[in-house]
Amino acid sequence: MTLKQLEIIEPVPGEYNLQNYTTVRENFKWEDAKNGLSFNETGRLNIAYETIDRHVDDGRGDKTALHYVNGDERISYTFREVKEKTDHYARILKENGAEKGDRIFVFLPKTPECYIAILSVIKIGAIAAPLFEAFMEDAIRDRINDCHGSILITDKEMVRRVPEADIPSLETILFAEDIEAAPSRSSGEGLVEWMEEDDGMLIHYTSGSTGKPKGVLHAHRVVSHQYQSGKWVLDIKDDDVYWCTSHPGWVTGSVYGLFAPWLNRATVVIQGGRFKAEHWYKLIAELKVTIWYSAPTAFRMLLSQGDILEGYDLSSLRHILSVGEPLNPEVIYWAWEELGVRIHDTWWMTETGAHLVVNLPGEKIKPGSMGRPFPGVEVGILDEAGNVVPRGTTGQLAVRTPWPGLMKEIWGNKDKFDSYFKYEGWYLSGDLAYQDDEDYVFFQSRDDDMINSSGERIGPFEVESKLIEHEAIQEAGVIGKPDPVRGEIVKAFIVLRDGFVQSPDLLEEIRVFVRNNLAAHVAPKEIEVMEELPKTTISGKILRRELKKQEIENSGGTAV
């Protein structure tokens, strides 16, 4: 029997932080998640303090907090050194008039200074607004103007992309180079602003795929959700070396690249530079990374490069996680067969603040499933009237409110905020999914991505996952192409792996492969070969809507 016939991948025995999902889920209360955090005893809350300063005050200041790698450059800091640097940045901010509640933007590459700047903003009671390092003028202007940002921390290279004249609220620009060079003073007394649980601390902007970007504001109360999910889902222990590949300008890079791992006292890896498989494998081997959090796009790219990994010792890896888009089963099988480690899919959103549906290290994985609800989270699959549908039925993926990580508001847009709560007591995600009898949730599509062909509803993700199992295909995107007879037909856009050449015979072989392994009605009626697929800059999600737009505007190309 092959691995793919097994379908379920059982956990490797180990001493995981969450040992019995069923028992914990039955008994867990969100108040329990505050245990281990200092504010639960002192009554004084600031997530920046809990993330870094707490460890110094607990006598763990000499533990390594981060390793920074960029080409040949290597830098490491202890928790004490990170605290001193956040104090230094915080003092400079206050000297430049920063106050509680100000929106302060951080526009820096993926360096220690980026992480330190974000924490320093939050430490003084302001709201940190990280920007992705690849943003250009329009994206920067729209975000700072939306929430009237008053201060920007950047560097002397990236400031060239800041259209200062078009941002009337921007009063001060601080350069990381100047902050680093400024004289430091030893005492950090009086820099931490103690906050209420519902005070704002972080604002992330959605990608703006449908209209202007929306500012999702999170409050300090998110700390317990991020701490507990870091403990149970990331499974962080004191000796772990943890690497999240996302930039803090995106919510994964801040929540699970910065807050959750440092709340659990991990040693965090920060890697600069562009993606290259050899560099990633070398980094894991050199720093002996134990926990690795990345995106399906990255894993698919590694899979497509085959035997490169054979030259590296990756035996330090004990836990791998994925986020950003649904994880194709083929990628899970690849990691299990080649690395001997399972990849654990996770589901959450910018708006949710932390994990909601997860595959835990001590529980079985059903490839293709996002996992089961995090303890304290209730998932509902709803019909159009807001009623829970039977198990196995596809519907709207919703989550029972409230929970600590849930966003505080959409900045200046109450109508958008209210749209997430169409049904009383439920947060509506915009995803379609179904849940099986063991509570595992299976993503089907975004609500507007579902394909309706001759009355059959087809989820593109299932077809894409089957396509990339074919040896010739590196990536695949599937849409519903308008058709006068069927309403829509299934059309696939594919990128071929090196060594494969497009031909009518190959495309027919691919179509038959899907038909024979799934069903005739889901097999692509058309297949188009592309050099690359359109993706988001956030996590490399394939933009099906862009493929559909291109198809409607121009039906030509290499379709068959």
Q: Is residue 521 part of a domain?
A: yes
CA 103 to chain centre: 23
For strands 64-70 and 73-78, give the pairing. antiparallel
- Are the beta carbons of 270 and 111 closer than 8 angstroms? yes
Q: If residue 23 lies in a helix (H) or strand (E), which one and from where to where? A: helix 21-27
- Are the beta carbons of 66 and 115 closer than 8 angstroms? yes
Q: Which residues contact 306 (CB under 8 A, 6 or more apart)?
A: none
Dihedral-angle region of residue 97 (phi above 0 means left; psi in -120 to 50 means alpha; beta otherwise):
left
* Domain's final residue, options 375, 400, 435: 435
- Are the beta carbons of 288 and 310 closer than 8 angstroms? no
Q: Is residue 535 part of a domain?
A: yes
Q: Is residue 450 part of a domain?
A: no
* Domain's final residue, options 435, 464, 493: 435
Residue 386 φ then ψ, to 5°: 85, 15
The token duo for 343 is: 């990849």
The token duo for 59 is: 């006598």
Name beta bridge partners: 128. Answer: 104, 202
The token duo for 516 is: 């024979």
pLDDT of residue 327: 83
CA 518 to chain centre: 29
- Are the beta carbons of 151 and 105 closer than 8 angstroms? yes
Name beta bridge partners: 442. Answer: 434
Distance, in Å, from the CA atom of 135 to the CA atom of 138, rounded to the nearest integer, reads 8
- Are the beta carbons of 529 and 473 closer than 8 angstroms? no
Using DSSP's 3-state secondary structure scheme, residue 443 falls into strand
Q: Is residue 447 part of a domain?
A: no
Residues 430, 463, single domain; the answer is no
* Domain's final residue, options 383, 404, 435: 435
Beta strands (DSSP E) in 459-548 are 473-483, 487-496, 526-529
Residues 397, 487, single domain; the answer is no
Residues 410, 517, single domain; the answer is no
Q: Is residue 244 part of a domain?
A: yes
Using DSSP's 3-state secondary structure scheme, residue 416 falls into helix
Residues 422, 462, single domain; the answer is no
Q: Name residues of the chain where pLDDT drops below 50.
A: 1-6, 208-210, 557-560
- Are the beta carbons of 359 and 369 closer than 8 angstroms? yes
Residue 521 φ then ψ, to 5°: -75, -15
Per the listing, tokens 């950090």 go with: 188
Burial of 469 (C-beta count, 10 Å sphere; 0-12/13-18/19+): middle
Q: Which residues contact 357 (CB under 8 A, 6 or more apart)?
A: 346, 347, 348, 370, 371, 372, 373, 374, 377, 379, 441
Residues 498, 540, single domain; the answer is yes
Residue 19 φ then ψ, to 5°: -95, -30
Instruction: Tell me how far apart the 2 most distant CA atoms of the chain are, in Å.
Output: 74
pLDDT of residue 108: 98
Residues 248, 383, single domain; the answer is yes
The token duo for 395 is: 């519907």
How many Cβ atoms sit within 10 Å of the Cβ of residue 474?
Answer: 18
Using DSSP's 3-state secondary structure scheme, residue 188 falls into coil
Q: What is the CATH number of the domain that holds 64?
A: 3.40.50.12780
Residues 393, 489, single domain; the answer is no
**How far lies 76's CA from each of 62, 386, 504, in Å?**
12, 51, 54
Nearest Cα to 259, choosing from 272, 273, 246? 246
Q: What is the CATH number of the domain that holds 471?
A: 3.30.300.30
Task: Supply angle C-alpha 326, 330, 4, rounded to 5.
Answer: 125
Domain extent at residue 525: 456-553
Residues 105, 163, single domain; the answer is yes
Nearest Cα to 479, choosing from 442, 527, 519? 527
Distance, in Å, from the CA atom of 330 to the CA atom of 368, rounded to the nearest integer, reads 9
Residue 235 φ then ψ, to 5°: 60, 45
Distance, in Å, from the CA atom of 113 to the CA atom of 107, rounded to the nearest integer, reads 10
Q: Is residue 448 part of a domain?
A: no
Q: Is residue 558 part of a domain?
A: no
Q: How many domains does the chain have?
A: 2
Length of the chain: 560
Residues 405, 548, single domain; the answer is no
For strands 291-294 and 319-322, give the pairing. parallel
Nearest Cα to 255, choosing from 36, 443, 51, 88? 51
For strands 357-358 and 343-347, give the pairing. antiparallel
Distance, in Å, from the CA atom of 218 to the CA atom of 201, rounded to the nearest integer, reads 6
Residues 403, 544, single domain; the answer is no
Q: Is residue 478 part of a domain?
A: yes
Q: Classify residue 166 by its DSSP letter.
A: G
Residues 356, 502, single domain; the answer is no
- Are the beta carbons of 217 and 408 closer than 8 angstroms? yes
pLDDT of residue 309: 78
Residues 181, 226, single domain; the answer is yes
Nearest Cα to 463, choosing from 415, 520, 420? 520
The structure's pTM equals 0.84
CA 247 to chain centre: 10
Distance, in Å, from the CA atom of 543 to the CA atom of 521, rounded to the nearest integer, reads 23
Would you call the peptide bond into 402 cis, given omega within 30 degrees of 0 as the criterion? yes
